[in-house]
Structure 1
Amino acid sequence: MTEQPTSPLSRRRLLGVGAGAAVAGAVAGVGGAYAATHASADPATAGGGADQASSDDMVPFRGEHQSGIITPAQDRMHFVALDVVTQDRAALAAMLKAWTRAAERMTAGAEAAPGGVVGGGPYRAPEDTGEAYDLDASDLTITIGYGPSLFDDRFGLADRKPDALRDLPGFVGDDLDPARSGGDLCIQACANDPQVAVHAVRNLVRMGFGVVSVRWSQLGFGRTSSTTRNQVTPRNMFGFKDGTNNLKAEDGDALAEHVWVQPADVPGGSAWMAGGSYLVARRIRMHIEIWDRTPLQEQQDIIGRDKGEGAPLGQKGEFDTLDFATKGADGKPAIPVDAHVALAHESRLNGIRILRRGYNFTDGSDGVGHLDAGLFFIGFMRDAHQQFVPMQRALAAKDGLNEYIEHTGSAVFACPPGLGAEDYWGQALFS
């Protein structure tokens, strides 16, 4: 077994300072450094699950499933949706292949391309933008998704489109901004250092110049869900613990039932999606100034949990079972029937569950003295129309939280399965 390094490898250490072509060549295909730090990784679990290799702050890029789904949720996120601006099928396929190489390098702690920040000499643009040059991999994951609009008549992909990949319907109370919704492609970059996540998206977008353009993007901080059992439950911008009952990486059977697309779901030309997952993104503006003036008990009744411990109302511990039959001192249900946790609970939704992976955001102010802040909801599921749609319809119709939030952006993407040793993004679509 290859000995694991004892300290994180920054991009500077990987490429060397002034070491020239010999060092750059050693990581040309991620090669030396990636292999040395992942020799013991099990390919079957390399999708970033509970058994991921943790050495050197690197998450394996290849595996059965894409990383960034059941990977332990990192602290920071940069999400971008893109429009394809060419009708050249070959150019799009070539870009996705180049993205694969660059993404694998960056998740291994290397620069986006072998030339790095100095390659090509003084009269050419550098091969890497350089802002992450001295930083380690920081558990970076890069997850790609395809939007419904990618499968129109531009690239001959109509017969490859899964039936479940359709735009979401409108919901009561939506105030969606078209400029913050939809997209042909998406990239989700998550890391424990915000500069590493931003660097990843920036370099992929730079590489796609002339093929794609940014439609919208979102920065996130402070994860709002735990995706493994060894993570503590985080809090959202309303100050409540969020995602206590989320699906976890260790829940293999539940993930197969609720998150991973099964072969039977995608017959014929859409079989490439088996092992993948559908991503729903919703930008949810929280009116935090109004919330902050709301009495504590009203806040707790709206959520259905106490604000301190996170316990279901009527219970003592965060992970106590929600008991909708428990009565309060007034004889009414301790958890109100229109509480958020009640409406979103699987027992009220015919067993529906999803994997949440959202982030808090603060995007400055709205110009009238209020913070433009909230939750960037990300959910992964086996079928958005069978899972997210009925859940959101129930919440949109009755949730007491609706007085304090509004949905301003929305999108759905098909995230393909993970890659084998020689595979690249888009291969199954364009081959």
Structure 2
Amino acid sequence: MTDQSIPQARPRAADAAAPAASGADSAGGPVAGGISRRRLLGTAGATGLALGAAGGAAGYAARPAEATPLSSLGAGEVMFHGKHQPGIVQRLQARGHVVAFDLAAGAGRKEAAALLRRWSETARRLMAGEAAQQEDTGVALDAGPSSLTITFGFGHSFFARTGLEKQRPVALDPLPEFSSDRLDKARSNGDLWVQIGADDALVAFHALRAIQKDAGRAAKVRWQMNGFNRSPGATAHPMTARNLMGQVDGTRNPKPTDADFDRRIFVPEAGAQDPAWMANGSYAVVRRIRMLLDDWEQLSVTAQEQVIGRRKADGAPLTGGTETTEMDLEKTDRAGNLVVPLDAHARITRPDQNGGAAILRRPFSYHDGIGPDGVPDAGLLFICWQADPLRGFVPLQRKLDRGDALSRYIRHEASGLFAVPGGAAEGEYVGQRLLEG
């Protein structure tokens, strides 16, 4: 969960229209019919022409050249190369996939390095709106980058599998057990972790499929989960997201403009605890949190607000004001009772109530169908970022475990902790400083 103040993907300028002749584009590479995805995007942007999929399918009727684009949603582009990996500080995306892989039997450091090299090149190309480098499926052929981000991380078990135990960070030690945990081990942890997000569902799926195909014989999928958020532009103006309980969720998320943001979220370049390869990286805690919606929806709105500590309509604290008004934890009603209950979720999670512990929440909602009993399998793919989970997620979750009113309406069903190295520089792949250091 994150505020809308975090950086947006920069708009991607339309590419120049390209001739319809066969051939490869040096930027986009060949796709069906000899036209690169990037060149096809440029043609579509200039003339309104939309081509069919591979196999010589006929094109659709051209729109007039002066037609106004329906939306700029697809034009957003996030850079792959940078100080930090993409998918951490960008705003919430409409569609997401998280997937964990285990290295195949016999695969080690060499195979892992080759895999991360392939994955990084695929991520770079797809995030730029280009075709995948090998056997592109054409799923996202008509779309722009749509703010696609692809993020890579390493699990605790990865280091033993690759003979790199001495490079494993202390911060990657397994998370402690919590009383609200009902964890499915088959859907938890993993050697490698990939987070994919985009503002278009087909673009996100295209990336997921490309990453899976790139894994080849080096790694196999351990688990995979799908999520969603409200689409950009669905509200009249930018707003903090709502979760499936209907609550405004993410009001107090740290912002990149905060003076201590980098210190809380990213590993310093000269950290005393973390190995050098983790400089400018972060740690991702991933939790599949099922919401017991039938129980929650039986509560009155007033009772729900008491559980959270904020008004449902606008996210403002029960003590008054707007969403961003500081909560008055000492305010009492006429009977002398605290307006914000002691076990209210918003009170318990405040950094000033937890020794300054803070996390950057960037989740997706999920819905995996309705069971035979009519109960929805739905909730939150909770993803949070911090420079040190022992100072971020762990103390907050311990506090919640001891007395959060929300705990009786949720259940933690899967968990993972991953070391996410800093971004790759031009000509590098993610994790190169670990795997070739």
For the criterion TM > 0.5, the same-fold answer is yes
CA 1:200–1:32 in structure 2 vs 1: closer, same or farther (change >3 Å)? closer
| 8 Å Cα contact 1:284-1:377 kept in structure 2 | yes
Partner of 1:80: 99
Aligned to 1:222: 229
Name the SS of the counterpart of 2:170 in structure 1: coil
Give yes or no for the alignment of 1:94 onto 2:114.
Answer: yes
CA shift, 1:276, in A, is 0.4
Q: Deviations over 1:308-347 (max 9, x none)?
A: 1111011121110011011123321110010001111111
1:18 deviation in Å? 5.8
Change (3 A) 1:94 1:408: same
Residue number among 19, 23, 33 corresponding to 1:20 in the alignment: 23
Equivalent residue, structure 2, for 1:191 = 198
Once residues 361 and 286 of structure 2 are traced to their aligned partners in structure 1, the CA distance between those partners, rounded to angstroms, is 10
1:255 corresponds in structure 2 to 261
**Structure 1 residues 208-287: aligned runs within 5 Å:** 208-222=215-229, 231-251=238-258, 253-266=259-272, 270-287=275-292
2:290–2:411 contact (8 Å) kept in structure 1? yes
- Conserved 8 A contact 1:261-1:277: yes
Read off the aligned partner of 1:73 and give its amino acid letter: L
Aligned partner of residue 265 in structure 1, secondary structure: coil
- Letter of the structure 2 residue corresponding to residue 78 of structure 1: H
Q: 1:33 to 1:341 in 2, by over 3 A?
A: same
Aligned partners of 2:283 and 2:386 also within 8 Å: yes
Cα separation, 1, equivalents of 2:37 and 2:138 = 21
Kept in 2, the 8 Å contact 1:301–1:339? The answer is yes
Q: Distance in 2 between matches of 1:17 and 1:381?
A: 48
Q: Is the 8 A contact 1:8 1:57 kept in 2?
A: no
In the alignment, the residues of structure 2 paired with residue 224 and residue 247 of structure 1 have an alpha-carbon distance, to the nearest angstrom, of: 22
What is the Cα deviation at residue 223 of structure 1?
5.9
* Number of residue-to-residue matches in the alignment: 384
Aligned 8 A contact 1:223 1:357 in 2:
no
Sequence identity percentage: 39
Question: Of 406, 415, 422, which aligns to 1:417?
Answer: 422
Structure 1 stretches lacking a partner, 5+ long: 38-53, 116-126
Which secondary structure does the structure 2 equivalent of 1:164 belong to?
helix
Matching residue within 98, 103, 106 for 2:126: 106
Kindly provide the CA deviation profile for residues 378-407 of structure 1, in whole angstroms up to 9, marking residues without a partner as x: 000011122111100110110111111100
Answer whether contact 1:162 1:266 (CA < 8 A) is retained.
Answer: no
User: Residues 224 and 279 from structure 1, CA distance in 2 versus in 1: closer, same or farther, beyond 3 angstroms?
Assistant: farther
1:325 & 1:5 partners in 2: Cα distance?
Answer: 49
Asked if residue 58 in structure 1 is aligned to residue 65 in structure 2, the reply is no
Q: CA offsets, 1:175-215, max 9 Å, x none?
A: 00111110111111111001111211211111112111111
Structure 2 distance, partners of 1:265, 1:224, is: 38
Provide closer, same or farther for how the CA distance between residues 6 and 274 of structure 1 changes in structure 2, counting only shifts above 3 A: closer
Question: What is the rounded CA distance, in whole Å, between the counterparts of 2:345 and 2:37 in structure 1?
Answer: 50
Identify if the C-alpha distance between structure 1 residues 289 and 148 changes in structure 2 by more than 3 Å, giving closer, same or farther. Answer: same
Instruction: Give the aligned partner of residue 382 of structure 1.
Output: 387
Distance 1:322 1:192, change over 3 A: same
Compute the RMSD of aligned alpha carbons. Answer: 2.6
In the aligned structure 2, how far is the partner of 1:212 from the partner of 1:18?
39
The CA deviation at 1:282 is 0.6
> What CA distance in whole angstroms lies between the structure 1 residues aligned with 2:147 and 2:307?
35
In 2, distance between residues paired with 1:142 and 1:231? 24
Q: Given the superposition, is the C-alpha separation of residues 18 and 218 from structure 1 closer, same or farther in structure 2, using an over 3 Å criterion? A: farther
When residues 18 and 77 of structure 1 are mapped into structure 2, their CA distance, relative to the original with a 3 A threshold, is farther
Q: CA deviation at 1:263?
A: 3.3
- Tell me how far apart the structure 2 counterparts of residues 224 and 300 of structure 1 sit (CA, whole Å): 26
Deviations 1:212-247 (A, max 9, x none): 11111111111699xxxx941010111110000101
2 CA distance for matches of 1:223 and 1:393? 30
Taking the TM superposition and a 5 Å limit, the aligned residue runs for 1:151-190 are: 151-152=159-160, 154-190=161-197
CA distance in 1, matches of 2:399, 2:23: 60
How far has the Cα of 1:33 moved from its partner?
6.3
Offset, 1:90:
1.6
CA spacing shift, 1:224–1:397, aligned 2, 3 Å: farther
Any idea what SS the aligned residue of 1:263 has?
coil
Q: Distance in 1 between matches of 2:101 and 2:209?
A: 12
Q: Name 1:292's counterpart in structure 2.
A: 297
Structure 2 residue 213 is matched with structure 1 residue 206: yes
The letter for the 1-side match of 2:147 is D
SS in 1 for 2:368: strand
Contact conserved, 2:15 with 2:38, CA < 8 A, in 1?
A: no
1:356 alignment partner, one of 361, 371, 376: 361
Separation in structure 2 between the aligned mates of residue 346 and residue 333 of structure 1, nearest angstrom:
19
- TM-score by length of structure 1 reads 0.84
Q: TM-score, normalised by structure 2?
A: 0.83
- Contact 2:423 2:430 survives alignment (8 Å): no
Which runs of 5 or more residues in structure 2 are unaligned?
1-10, 31-35, 43-72
Aligned partners of 1:136, 1:351: CA distance in 2, in Å? 40
> 1:265 deviation in Å?
3.2
| One-letter code aligned to 1:144 | F
